[in-house]
Amino acid sequence: MAVSIKSEREIELMRESCRLLGIVHKELEDKIRPGMTTHEIDVMGDTLIRKLGCIPNFKNYNGYPASVCVSVNDEVVHGIPSRKRYLQEGDIVSLDAGLIYKGYHSDAARTHGVGEISAEAKKLIEVTRQSFFEGIKMAKAGNYLYDISNAIDAYVSQFGYGIVRELVGHGIGTSLHEDPQIPNFAQRRKGLKLQAGMTLAIEPMINMGRADVLWCDDDWTVVSQDGSLSAHYENTVLITEGEPEILTLY
Ligand code: MF3
Ligand code: CO
């Protein structure tokens, strides 16, 4: 499938979809407390998305049963919210959510600390977040897709963390997942040439230990194989001739 270039009208719809998702993430962040269940987070996210007049795009996506992916500690992504899973002080929790506004998808993820967390956990979350910003320094028309991948890898590798390879970023628009795939680790080739009007979900997933991951028996939850903490940071970004626009920031 070819990479779609959005028209000015489509870009406006993407901007609004992403702006609303930024609000959802902000509200969820403000509500995280020790003692709440991961299911409660999903209910809050689902309710808010619908209150904003949008549709949660993860719900029933390939059978995924919730509207917010909630991944705790060694869970990398796609954790399934549960009424039995209580957040505890010191946990880290990754929230991944998306929505559809007038047919246009947005997608973003953040990792938060629950109450006070260790200095090591804080550093993992901050390096993961910063790796996104290092990546998008390269995200402008005329550069190549894998300039982004290489920049993320070069930054993260200094810290000795494991960059997850099995899951990647992606184009986004009238579908949640469009071409191209965007690896977060170094590539030998250049990849396609970036053009203004591309909208990309860039989403480094970083393990404190080794990069290897496993799929759990629920067929969704991805965990680090060595049990180390994992963080995720994702925004939907618009490529322009100049600086990229980060559409899902609050
Ligand atoms: N942000 C996730 C991704 O790009 C979306 C998860 S899809 C779901 O892979 F099915 F798990 F919801
Ligand atoms: Co995504």
Is the Cβ–Cβ distance between 96 and 69 less than 8 Å?
yes
> What are the structural domains, with CATH classification, of the chain?
8-246 (3.90.230.10)
Q: What's the gap in Å between 91 CA and the centre of ligand 1?
A: 22
pLDDT at 2: 85
Which residues neighbour 43 within 8 Å (Cβ) at sequence distance 6 or greater?
none
**Nearest ligand to residue 199 Cα:** 2
Residues with CB under 6 A from ligand 1: 58, 61-62, 64, 69, 78, 96, 107, 170, 201
Please give the model's pTM, rounded to 2 decimal places: 0.98
Ligand 1 atom nearest to 58, measured from its CA = 12
Amino acid letter at 167?
L
Residue nearest to atom 12 of ligand 1 (CA): 58
**Nearest ligand to residue 235 Cα:** 2
pLDDT tens for the chain, 250 residues: list them: 789 999 999 999 999 999 999 999 999 999 999 999 999 999 999 999 999 999 999 999 999 999 999 999 999 999 999 999 999 999 999 999 999 999 999 999 999 999 999 999 999 999 999 999 999 999 999 999 999 999 999 999 999 999 999 999 999 999 999 999 999 999 999 999 999 999 999 999 999 999 999 999 999 999 999 999 999 999 999 999 999 999 999 9
DSSP E strand stretches across 162-204: 162-163, 169-171, 178-182, 199-202
Ligand 1 atom nearest to 66, measured from its CA = 12
Is the Cβ–Cβ distance between 249 and 219 less than 8 Å?
no
pLDDT at 1: 73
Tell me 60's DSSP state. Answer: T
Our mutation pick for probing the ligand 1 site, out of 70, 78, 94, counting the most ligand atoms within 8 A of Cβ, is 78
